[in-house]
């Protein structure tokens, strides 16, 4: 038997039983809690620094739960959607089967026509149906999308913004037809329209009307779906458009504050809706910057909710967040390298304290993910969760001079930007002034200059190019027949419905919009009356108009 060479005695915390410590100083599972990892206030060594705090306590720098992943693993929420509802339903079942009992949720990607609130047979939908996500036109499509999936037991995320209230109404109506109580449904509606004006461009109505619709969903969830996160305030797309990490942090949190202010002005008590707000951040290549961004975000949000909006409920102060690895960092060249990028980005999201995580597939820059690529992406999370040991320690980086200093720096930089937005009148005024787009464009331009100058190296792009011309991965193709069948299915659906019921429902939606009422009840009735996505979106556009951008764009 090979003997183990003598090593230096490990450093142990006096609160830890020395018998549980290995030769390397690593503490075995179950013996390392928040009380063993403490950053103390230099003025009082017995107390943690108030700006950092303990895990699960204000200001939540170190995480929203006392035990973090030692007591509850993050949700592995893989993003999926392509082709028809039947195609995506099969992929959902594939993901659930491969999860094998891990804490898994479903996240739905919709195609471009659906994201823009247009039916598949709309002339502007031609060539895009089912291409970058699943096509959903009717409540029947919604039934097929989640067929045989226990949506009262599996949490469902829906990545939709401009027509989010309509898609959500279809989902709620579908659950009612399945004899499910909406109060038992858990999940998240992205529904963050403000970032669409900053970066992704999938808006429909003017900013003011768009924010009103978001507040409608917040109010409806508060009253009828207590387990549902009605808004996932998203920095992901802001970062994908080229912002810096600090801009992503500031713009995202200030967008969230805009929704909170609008809901309070509606008359909603802050503690009645704030606990169900959630966030969505990017995890990019700068490892420590991404970790510190999430730590700073929790601190800024908890302070804003307490001091700016007067929240009293501890849960209103929590910033719960989903993280997705950076799609914009993936390269067409040498796509297998993307597996490595995603693994490091996922690790940053976990060390930053996310509550759910999506890992991108290696081939997403080339096309929709293949099943093999999706499996590797999910296995990346499972290796991270079950092999690396990162779940054994609540907050392993707490107290690092570098990490705490960078967290402070990002907090300070983000607060400066938030104050600048406040001074210009808020987010909606900033949109009309072109502030967000200019800021992101300037940051993106600087990034491009750094790449061209060779100051920023991207493996396989401007460095280490050997093997770039090799075909390394299979590419998933969407047949044009998907669009043809979807349009045929939609035509048949419309022929078999009660036209008078449809007309009455659309009129009710217009009336609710004109009278400044909450549109959600009318939209749910519209879905039950078999109105299509495009019809309900247009009914509201008849009142609100369609937005094409301000003069500064």
Paired strand residues for 233? 279
pLDDT at 43: 56
- Structure-token match 């469902």, residue found: 156
pLDDT at 550: 58
d(CA 272, CA 222) in angstroms, rounded, equals 7
pLDDT at 469: 78
What one-character DSSP code corresponds to residue 545?
A: -
The backbone torsions φ and ψ at residue 38, rounded to the nearest 5 degrees and listed phi first, read -130, 130
DSSP string, 400-420: -HHHHHHHHHHHHHHHHHHHH
pLDDT at 495: 96
Q: What topology does CATH give the domain 72-453?
A: TIM Barrel (3.20.20)
pLDDT at 405: 94
Under a CB-based contact definition with an 8 Å cutoff, are residues 218 and 262 in contact?
Answer: no
User: 3-state SS of 431-489?
Assistant: HHCCHHHHHHHHHHHHHHHHHHHCCCCCECCCECCCCCCCCCCCCECCCCHHHHHHHHH
d(CA 240, CA 89) in angstroms, rounded, equals 27
pLDDT at 282: 96
B/e letters for 352-387, b = 16+ CB within 10 Å, e = fewer, are bbbbbbbbbbbbbbbbbbbeebbbbbbebbeebbee
Length of the chain: 553
The helix or strand, by DSSP H or E, that contains position 263, with its residue range, turns out to be helix 245-266
Q: How far is CA 343 from CA 68, 330, 361, 386, in A?
A: 20, 12, 11, 14
Paired strand residues for 473? none
List all residues 6 or more positions away from 484 whose beta carbon is below 8 Å from its beta carbon: none
d(CA 114, CA 486) in angstroms, rounded, equals 12
Q: Taking Cα atoms as reference points, which of 197, 189, 116 lies closest to residue 427?
A: 197
pLDDT at 203: 96
Query: If 0-12 CB within 10 Å is exposed, 13-18 middle and 19+ buried, where does residue 189 land?
Result: buried
Q: Would you kindly state where each structural domain of the chain is located, as residue ranges? A: 72-453
Q: Provide the whole-model pTM.
A: 0.88
d(CA 310, CA 516) in angstroms, rounded, equals 27
d(CA 47, CA 41) in angstroms, rounded, equals 6
pLDDT at 48: 57
d(CA 187, CA 18) in angstroms, rounded, equals 43
d(CA 107, CA 81) in angstroms, rounded, equals 8
Q: Can you give the pLDDT of all 553 residues of the chain as single tens digits?
A: 333 333 333 333 333 333 333 323 333 333 333 334 344 555 555 555 778 999 999 999 999 999 999 999 998 876 777 888 999 999 888 888 877 666 567 889 899 999 999 999 999 999 999 888 899 999 999 999 999 999 988 889 899 999 999 999 999 999 999 999 999 999 999 999 999 999 989 999 999 999 999 999 999 999 999 999 999 999 999 999 999 999 999 999 999 999 999 999 999 999 999 999 999 999 999 999 999 999 999 999 999 999 999 999 999 999 999 999 999 999 999 999 999 999 999 999 999 999 999 999 999 888 778 889 989 999 999 999 999 999 999 999 999 999 999 999 999 999 999 999 999 999 999 999 999 999 999 999 999 999 899 999 989 888 898 877 776 677 766 678 889 999 999 999 999 999 999 999 999 999 999 999 999 999 999 999 999 999 999 999 999 999 987 544 4
* Calculated CA dihedral for residues 265, 267, 270, 276, nearest 10 degrees: -100
């Amino acid at each position: 038997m090979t003997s183990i060479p003598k090593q230096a005695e490990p450093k142990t915390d006096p609160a830890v039983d020395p018998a549980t410590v290995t030769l390397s100083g690593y503490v075995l599972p179950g013996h390392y809690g928040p009380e063993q990892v403490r950053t103390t206030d230099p003025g009082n060594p017995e107390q943690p620094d108030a700006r950092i705090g303990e895990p699960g306590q204000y200001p939540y720098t170190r995480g929203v739960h006392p035990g973090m992943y030692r007591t509850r693993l993050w949700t592995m929420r893989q993003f999926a959607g392509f082709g028809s509802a039947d195609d995506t339903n099969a992929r959902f079942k594939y993901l659930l089967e491969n999860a094998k009992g891990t804490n898994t949720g479903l996240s739905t990607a919709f195609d471009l026509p659906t994201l823009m609130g247009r039916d598949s047979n709309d002339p502007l939908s031609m060539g895009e149906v089912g291409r970058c996500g699943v096509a959903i036109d009717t409540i029947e499509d919604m039934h097929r999308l989640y067929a045989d999936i226990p949506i009262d037991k599996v949490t469902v995320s829906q990545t939709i913004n401009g027509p989010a209230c309509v898609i959500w109404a279809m989902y709620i109506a579908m659950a009612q037809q399945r004899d499910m109580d909406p109060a038992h449904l858990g999940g998240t509606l992205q529904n963050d329209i403000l970032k669409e004006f900053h970066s992704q461009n999938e808006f429909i109505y003017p900013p003011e009307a768009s924010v009103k619709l978001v507040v409608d969903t917040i109010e409806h969830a508060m009253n009828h779906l207590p387990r549902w996160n009605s808004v996932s305030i998203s920095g992901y797309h802001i970062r994908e458009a080229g912002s810096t990490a600090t801009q992503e942090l500031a713009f995202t949190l200030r967008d969230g504050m805009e929704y909170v202010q609008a809901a309070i002005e509606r008359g909603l008590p802050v503690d009645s809706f704030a606990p169900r707000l959630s966030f969505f951040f990017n995890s990019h290549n700068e490892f420590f910057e991404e970790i510190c961004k999430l730590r700073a975000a929790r601190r800024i949000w908890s302070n804003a909710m307490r001091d700016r909006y007067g929240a009293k409920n501890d849960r209103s102060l929590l910033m719960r967040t989903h993280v997705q690895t950076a799609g914009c960092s993936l390269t067409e060249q040498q796509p297998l390298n993307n597996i490595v990028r995603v693994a490091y980005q996922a690790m940053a999201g976990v060390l930053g304290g996310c509550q759910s995580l999506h890992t991108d597939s290696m081939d997403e820059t080339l096309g929709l993910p293949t099943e093999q690529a999706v499996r590797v992406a999910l296995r990346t999370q499972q290796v991270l969760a079950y092999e690396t040991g990162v779940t054994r320690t609540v907050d392993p980086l707490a107290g690092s001079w570098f990490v705490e200093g960078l967290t402070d720096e990002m907090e300070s930089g983000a607060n400066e930007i938030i104050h600048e937005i406040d001074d210009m009148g808020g987010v909606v005024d900033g949109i009309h002034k072109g502030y967000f787009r200019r800021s992101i464009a300037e940051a993106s331009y600087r990034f491009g200059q750094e790449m061209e100058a060779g100051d920023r190296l991207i493996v396989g792009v401007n460095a280490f190019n050997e093997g770039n011309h090799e075909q390394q991965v299979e590419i998933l193709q969407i047949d044009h027949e998907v669009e043809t069948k979807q349009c045929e299915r939609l035509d048949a659906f419309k022929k078999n419905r009660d036209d008078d019921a449809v007309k009455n429902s659309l009129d009710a939606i217009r009336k609710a919009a004109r009278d400044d009422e909450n549109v959600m009840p009318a939209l749910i009735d519209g879905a039950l009356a078999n109105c299509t996505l495009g019809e309900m979106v247009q009914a509201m556009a008849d009142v609100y108009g369609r937005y094409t951008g301000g003069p500064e764009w």
